[in-house]
Structure 1
Amino acid sequence: MANFISRPVICAFLTGVSGAALIATPARAEEAQAASPTAGGVQEIIVTAQRRSQNVQDVPISVTVANSEMLAVEHVTNIQNIEALSPSITYVDANSPASTPNLQIRGIGTTGPARTFEGAVGVFVDGVYRSRSGEALTDFLDVDSLQILKGPQGTLFGKNTTGGAILVKSVEPSTTDYKGNFEAGYGNYNAYTLRAAVNVPVSDKIAIRVSAVSVGHDGYISTPNGGNLNNKANLGFKVQLLLKPTEDLSIKVIADYARERDNCCYGTVNIIPGPLGPLVNALTLANGLTPASTNINDRQGNATPNANNRIDDGGVSLHIDYTLGDGTLSSVTALRRYKVLQLNEDADFSGISVLNLDEGFTSKFFSQELTYNGHLSGAIKADYVFGAFYSHETDTDFRNLRWGSQAQMFWDALLGAAGVPAGTADAAPGLFGSENMLGTSNSYAAYSHWDFKFSDAFDLIAGARYSREEKTGQFAETYFRDPLLDPLALVGVMPGIGYNQSVVNQAVSGTVGVQYRPATGVMTYLTYNRGFKAGGVNIDVNAAGIPGSVVFGSPGVSQSPVYAPETVDAFEAGIKADWLGKKARTNIAVFYDSLHSLQVAEFVGLQYLIANAPSAKVAGAEFEQTFKLGHGFTFSAAGTYLPEAKFGTTSVLGYPLSGRRMVEAAHFAGNVALFGFTPVSNDWAVTSRIQAQYSGSVYVGNDNDITQGPVTLVNVSLGLASLKNGLQIEAYAENLLNRAYVTGAFGVPIETGSYNAFLGAPRTYGVRARFSF
């Protein structure tokens, strides 16, 4: 078992609901007086976790929320660094943005690059479900708020989830104010940021809001021969049109497009060379390159040839809200297209020219959701939601595999050690295999959620959901150059076995709970939630088995590519309290989750296979604490304790997963932070931030055989904010101590025993300026 220096849950500044909007740097003087930490106590935070606007302290759900200013202060620019908002959420790196749902909450998530996996943590952007987590990896654009809902969600949103949900909401167009903002920044690694947004009220019934972003930086992984890997260059646009024909009717159209162009995502560090290390190093030198260091502090890697990663994500959505009776009838219709094209990718993750591939993934997604939010005020007092949801998705994939210029030498040496004469294998350079994959998904759901108010102190919560999921999956090896003598044919893993499978899952899930307010400013709750995540058809080269090897006498294996649905029984109790005259806020939650048929991706040889672990348990507690100290300073602390987060003992998984702790589930993660907003004159205020963030040891690979020790990170910033206009200037440093840490590890294809790792960002620093008008 390997142990590496660090892995942060870059859990951040005000991890949690407790301090959102407390230290937001305001745009105008009057906002400064209202939002400054010197003004009053802990501020009220409005969320929509239950489909209506509520004070977060009144919501019987563990919720973390951040407004736009908080996101800016914390440099949370996309889902990848969302860990800065809560120690309970984790993002796991992977080489394919097309296929990997990478988010976990409280240790529960879906990890491993499987094209058909749905995320246990659902991402909803402006009410539209994003079927692939990669769709949410593009940089946030004109975001008004972000909410993290912990635990199963299904009776309030169109798509059911077992781990939680992330709600991203754009700034709304306004029919009253002409306003906007502009931001520019520059930092080390040639990092640049340009953001702009403008709101134009065409009339008292029509408004347009346009926003754009351009961000990029040089790669954080260097090559021994010069250059770097995993560069980033992103560009995005968003246009919103708001129409308000009457007081009762609102129509909004949102169109957005984002693209990424870089040499991502195969730049990794070889942390364990494995038994083939000497051969790989010799071929690397013969290829004219210097072997990369295996010390993660050197941040070195090799990748051949020069990769080209292209991501295009765009869509349009129609939002209609109509006041009807005592409630609001809402419709959200969306059409999206997400395309990933990875060319000349280095599938051997090293400096040798052995295995290269081109891979493409295209998702076309349509969704329709109808909801009615109502209120009863008679003898029975209640807030309620009725909803119906439908979605259809088509995923089209291809993969072309090519042997590189050194493949023959590599396989002659490798197979020669097993007694196979040199030249037996046919690994001549060029295309040797082509694969086509197709998957479809139809989702139907109806749900309702009720909050019965029996008194000012006591509520009863109940909700139910019916889900039906229809999925298909197809795989075809459309070309295989030599099914007898190709190296992968000789070892018995290719050509892939074709299949065309379908699966239908149906389930009833729901929630029940009580909410009690024993005193002013104090709310307690106890809830039970049943979560459901559909099964599907694994789309991969060996999902239906392997052909076997005549040379080595290994028989073929036939298996079903279908995997079963996942369910969770989640119990949670919590207390939310404002005290010391609202100078302090404390939120505590304890939880126990019993998972059944947990979907697990296991790396076997060249690909991930999907198994259903019969059982898993997660139990723990969270706390979020905020103190207003006066003189413009706010102290916050938060922590997540997971004494249990492990798979049950079962032969389905076997070693090293059976009975082991889940990936990326630290026993404890937390942070402390001090923030300042201190007026120094009638015109200016000094803004400051210092954070210390901690994560305990975790497994970092899906095979749970590589761990990382504890890590502490430090982030700082210092700036000036105008009290007269919307100008803000800031200098910042993230990961100030330049700690090296692994965010994900995996077995290297065709190099048994060798492991590579993705690293988190090194020390980054820079300056930025923002102007609002």
Structure 2
Amino acid sequence: MRKSTLLAAPVLSVVSLGTFAAPAIAQDAGPVEQSNDAGLGEIVVTAQRRAESLQNAAIAISAVSGDALVQQGVTDPAGLTGAVPALEVSTGTGGKSLFYLRGVGNFSGNSLSDGAIAFNFNDVYIARAQGTGGFFHDLERVEVLKGPQGTLYGRNATGGAINVIPAAPKLGEFGGHISGEYGNYDHMRVEGAVNAPLGDNGAIRLSAMRVKHDGYLSDGTDDQDDFSARLGMRAELTPTLDVTVTGDYFRKRGKGGGATIISDTGGRFDIDDRVGLSDPRAQAVYEQDTFVFTAGSFLTGLPDVSDVDINNWGVSATINWDTPAGELTVIPAYRETDSKSVTIQPGFYISEDARSQQFSMEARLASDDTNTFSYLLGAYYIDEDGDVPLFRTNAQYNAALQNYEYQTESYAFFGRLNFRATDKLTLSLGGRYTKEKKAFQGLYRGQNRFCVTETFSFGLTCPGAPPIPFNDTLPLAFANLESVGLVPFPLAGGIAAYENGFDPDRFLVQVYNEISNNSSNSFNKFTYRLAADYQVTPDNLIYASYETGFKSGGFFFSPTQNTYSPETIQAFTLGSKNSFMGNRIRLNVEAFHWIYKDQQISHLGSALDPDTQQSVIIFPTENVGKATFTGGEVELEALVTDTTRLGAQVQYLDAKYDEFVYNVPANSPPQTGCATAPSGGGATIALDCSGFRPPNAPKWVIRLTGEQRVPLGNGGEFVFNASGNFQSKTLTGLEFLPVETQGSYWNVDAALTYNAPNDRFYIGGYVRNAFNKTVFTNSFPPPLTNGLFVAALRSPRTYGIRAGFNF
């Protein structure tokens, strides 16, 4: 069979070890043999750019079938957290998805940073975090690769890669499926696909999904209102030339992500109440408990303004041509993302209008892998242009209005050479050279309000001092306080002081600053991979590898140095994959050690403007020392009887920041568990967080699964599925305080499904998070406050019914 045929229609209907098979949903995605002789069946992946059994893939990888994703209710990237224990995915501001793999990742607060985990759809890298939704329907599988990637992929990645692989058009076949769900929170999900032949050598496949539910928080936030569609056309133009063209569209609406208060000085309500930040109960906390040091005043309640409006679309082609030198694959692609959002999720106001256009081209030449020497050679190019006419933050007494453009041009050459030293031993050498050119130009306007005495020392209060209004404009230095009856008198350097209505010894001082940046830089790096695998028996594999990864630097607004450096990683892996008793038992074991250097983090900071000699509050991204991640994974799956399947996945992770020091403004006491010391001549405070465990890096993650099938006399069957996910306590923010630690918890899902004879249709019910465990993630302290922390929450208990029909 030609390799292109294998790549176009891989076989997968069960998930990687420890993940149970789903009911007969979307059977046109490709069945897997489930006979007693086949045992657990074969799992085929293409993570190494060739179709191979998962058990023969000498890499750290997990795979989840499209059927299992439907079974688990995955409709966006955040749903992958429960399916792959090593992966932590959460929803960030403005519809962004935040990815962490074994503790490696980064918070993407704006469009000026790249993800540490590469997200690929249909072999196309997705550059923006808000562009990763809309793909989770009519899928063959999702592959999660752990550790740095690059010698087989177009875009380099520090911590791993997520490959979302859609169901491909099938030549000469007509068929499809339609399914639906309805549940609490007025949840509705409808998905369908149809595959139709275009002659003997062509096919077209159309799929779409509509999913919607009410907000999980009391103010209506944390809702979902998505529509996505995809059209694929495939033609086998000659016996050696196969072309597939895919177009996709995604629309996201609604209020978007929300958050709740997890700590405040008053301790007003329980996190289980899921009180949103614009709820009157949360507004009361802001108005009565949340004191702002710099302004000497209390905050006002956050407005009910949350709104998300995202539109993504893209088109790509996959051209496979069998040549005497190997199979040549060429993938040209173009994508656009248009995102408008207003959110209060981090505990303050953010409004963003962002657009991104990206063109990429990848070419790979892969030889026959049955020879003594086999190779893969590749080249990659991406050009991304972004325009952010509005990025507005408002923490009431400090605010900023930004508009900027950015450009990234990256090209790379990569390859891998395999040497089959014996029938059992294979040695592998891979390398990649990456060069990126980045440019950034824009304008930052900031405004801060301080309460001071006549001698400009902090410490007294200005009760009733008016905050900066919530809107997408930024009043200049003297514009808005006059409207509330305060008469300014000017000071030097763009500063206005207001005394009317206050104690004569106290002044509300307003500072306006402006930063104009126009910067460019280039980054280059050679990364490589050394590996060996030994096939002890046809059912037992041992593998080891050492590989390096790289993510380029970038920019942020600052009156002085505004560039951060690349981050790098070194990864050691030793693993074994085993099948026993005629493939009725699988046991995979992996140990790893990662050394993570110069991690890029974004945080509130300050810089001294050399022109005005004022301290300017900024939001820099900087590199912070070194971290190590050491651990192991065990995956076990057993076909106990012909109708009973059990599985377990266990990950242990020992993670620590070896060197982690950064600076924050000195105009208020920092909320931190780290050691502090004055720095920058007293203008900043140095935080030394060395020795702490990184966020999103739980010590233990366990996933237990079970499936029981009950055959019926009519040829149908009942299927009962259950899973339990355990996670030990986890830090959710970079302040390293106990309040940001989510305690250990279990999450239990269950489903009961009736499959009709010949899998013609199914109907059933489900419950997810059965015990309604409240779990928080992504915690934030609003800037310059004390005792207040907010956090996003994972989904509450959801339940409902579902049905599907295959044709």
TM-score using structure 2 length: 0.80
Please say if 1:710 is aligned against 2:708.
Answer: no
Structure number with higher relative contact order (C-alpha < 8 Å, ≥ 6 residues apart)? 1
Give identity over the alignment, percent. Answer: 25
Change (3 A) 1:68 1:444: same
Deviations 1:259-311 (A, max 9, x none): 0110123x311122259999xxxxx9xx99444698xxxxxx98523332100
2:233 matched to 1:241? yes
| Equivalent position to 2:634, from 619, 623, 637 | 623
Structure 1 residues 577-656: aligned runs within 5 Å? 577-604=578-605, 608-650=619-661, 654-655=686-687
The residue aligned with 2:69 is 71
1:374 aligns with 2:397: no
Segment drifting more, 139-148 vs 182-191? 139-148
**Structure 2 letter corresponding to 1:577:** N
3-state DSSP of counterpart to 1:80: helix
What letter corresponds to residue 579 of structure 2 in structure 1? D
Which of 553, 559, 563 is 1:535 aligned to?
A: 553
| Residue 263, structure 1, aligned to residue 255, structure 2 | yes
Distance 1:433 1:19 in 2: 48
Match of 2:132 in 1: 136
How far does residue 752 in structure 1 lie from its aligned partner after superposition?
Answer: 4.4
Q: 1:689 aligns with which of 705, 721, 725?
A: 721
CA offset at residue 389 of structure 1?
A: 0.4
Partner of 1:82: 80
8 Å CA contact 1:440–1:473 kept in 2: the answer is: yes
- Report if aligned partners of 1:677, 1:685 keep a CA contact under 8 Å in 2: yes
Q: 1:233 offset after TM fit, Å?
A: 0.9
Match of 2:437 in 1: 470
Aligned amino acid, residue 444 of structure 2: E
Shift of 1:375: 2.4
Cα displacement string for residues 676-719 of structure 1 (whole angstroms, at most 9, x for unaligned residues): 22312233111111122110111111333321110111111111
- Determine the structure 1 residue equivalent to 2:676: none
Tell me, yes or no, if the aligned pair for 2:17 and 2:648 is still in contact at 8 Å: no
Mapped to 2, the partners of 1:492 and 1:624 lie a distance apart of 59
- Please state whether the residue corresponding to 2:331 is helix, strand or coil: strand
Pairs within 5 Å for 1:46-195: 46-98=44-96, 102-195=98-191
Instruction: Write the distance in 2 (CA, Å) between the matches of 1:26 and 1:310.
Output: 31
2:334 is the alignment partner of 1:335 = yes
- Give, in whole Å, the separation in 1 of the partners of 2:710 and 2:381: 50
- Find out whether 1:699 has 2:699 as its counterpart: no
Residue 416 (structure 1) aligns with? none
> Helix, strand or coil for the counterpart of 1:70?
helix
| Alignment partner, residue 411 of structure 2 | 444
Q: Separation in 1 of the partners of 2:279 and 2:189?
A: 36
Contact 2:698 2:728 in 1 (8 A): yes
Q: Distance in 1 between matches of 2:346 and 2:363?
A: 47
Aligned to 1:482: 476
User: Is 1:669 matched up with 2:701?
Assistant: yes
Tell me the distance in 2 between the aligned counterparts of 1:530 and 1:389.
18
Which amino acid in 2 is paired with 1:323? D
Q: Is the 8 A contact 2:394 2:400 kept in 1?
A: no
Amino acid at match of 2:384: E
Instruction: Give, as a single letter, the amino acid of the residue that structure 2 aligns with 1:632.
Output: T
Do the aligned partners of residues 168 and 523 (structure 1) sit closer, same or farther apart at CA in structure 2, a change above 3 Å counting?
A: same
Q: How many residues align?
A: 691
Deviation at 1:367, TM superposition (A): 0.3
CA distance in 1, matches of 2:393, 2:700: 44
Task: Quote the offset at 1:384 in angstroms.
Answer: 1.4
CA contact (8 A) 1:252 1:320 kept: yes
Aligned residue type for 1:592: H
Deviation at 1:534, TM superposition (A): 0.7
Offset at residue 613 of structure 1 (A):
1.4
Residues 754 and 397 of structure 1: CA distance in aligned 2, closer, same or farther (over 3 Å): same
Q: Secondary structure at the match of 1:57?
A: helix
Residues 358 and 104 (structure 1 numbering): CA distance in 2 closer, same or farther, change over 3 Å?
A: closer
1:189, CA displacement in angstroms? 0.2
Structure 1 distance, partners of 2:265, 2:51, is: 55
**Aligned ranges 1:732-743 → 2 under 5 Å:** 732-743=766-777
Q: Partners in 1 of 2:636 and 2:320 — Cα distance?
A: 37
Partner of 1:759: 793
Q: Distance in 2 between matches of 1:614 and 1:275?
A: 37
Residues in 1 aligned to 2:18 and 2:774: alpha-carbon distance in whole angstroms: 29
Whether the 8 Å CA contact 2:139–2:165 is kept in 1: the answer is yes
Counting only pairs closer than 5 Å after superposition, residues 312-323 of structure 1 correspond to structure 2 as 312-323=311-322
The change in CA–CA distance for 1:312 and 1:575 in structure 2 (over 3 A counts) is: same
1:424-466 Cα distance to aligned partner (Å, 9 max, x none): xxx9xxxx96421111101110001122112221000110100
- Partner amino acid, structure 1, of 2:355: T
Aligned equivalents of 2:533, 2:620: Cα separation in 1? 43
| Local SS of the residue matching 2:69 | helix
Unaligned runs of 5+ in 2: 1-12, 270-274, 286-299, 446-472, 482-493, 496-507, 607-616, 665-685
| Alpha-carbon displacement from aligned partner over 1:530-561 (angstroms, at most 9, x marks no partner) | 111111112xxxx30xxxxxxxxxxxxx5422
Residue 730 of structure 1 and its aligned partner are, at CA, apart by 1.9
Letter in 2 for 1:261: R
d(CA) in 2 for partners of 1:28, 1:513: 37
Q: 2:377 aligns with which of 379, 386, 400?
A: 386
CA contact (8 A) 1:16 1:85 kept: no
The alpha carbon displacement at 1:77 in A equals: 2.3
| 1:339-386, Cα deviation, whole Å (9 max, x unpaired) | 11014x44884xxxxx755420111111011111112766xx133110
Asked if structure 1 preserves the Cα contact closer than 8 Å seen for 2:259 and 2:346, the reply is no
Aligned residue for 2:67, secondary structure, equals helix
Query: Could you tell me which residue of structure 2 aligns to residue 548 of structure 1?
Result: none
CA contact (8 A) 1:594 1:615 kept: yes
Report the AA paired with residue 88 of structure 2: T
Q: Which amino acid aligns with 1:483?
A: A
SS at match of 1:175: coil
Q: Residues 586 and 603 (structure 1 numbering): CA distance in 2 closer, same or farther, change over 3 Å? A: farther
**What are the equivalent positions in structure 2 for 1:425-574 lying under 5 Å apart?**
434-477=401-444, 480-483=474-477, 494-538=512-556, 543-544=557-558, 558-574=559-575
8 Å Cα contact 1:93/1:743 also seen in 2: no
In 1, Cα distance between the equivalents of 2:327 and 2:27?
34
- Alignment of 1:304 onto 2:306: no
Which letter maps to 2:532?
V
**Contact 2:108 / 2:129 at 8 angstroms: preserved in 1?**
no
**In structure 1, how many angstroms separate the alpha carbons of the residues matched to 2:26 and 2:355?**
41
Contact 2:751–2:766 (8 Å) recurs in 1: yes
Return closer, same or farther for 1:212/1:16 CA change in 2, 3 Å cut-off.
closer
How many Å apart are 1:28 and its aligned residue?
A: 7.0
3-state SS of 1:495 partner: strand
Q: Which amino acid aligns with 2:715?
A: D
Per-residue CA distance 1:322-343 (angstroms, 9 max, x = gap): 1111411111011100111014
**Distance of 1:323 and 1:666 partners within structure 2:** 46
Superposition CA RMSD, Å: 3.1
CA contact under 8 A between 1:20 and 1:67: conserved in structure 2?
Answer: no
TM-score normalised by L of structure 1: 0.84
> Secondary structure at 1:76's aligned position in 2?
coil
**Distance of 1:23 and 1:731 partners within structure 2:** 13
Alpha-carbon distance change, 376 to 88 in structure 1, aligned in 2, over 3 angstroms: closer
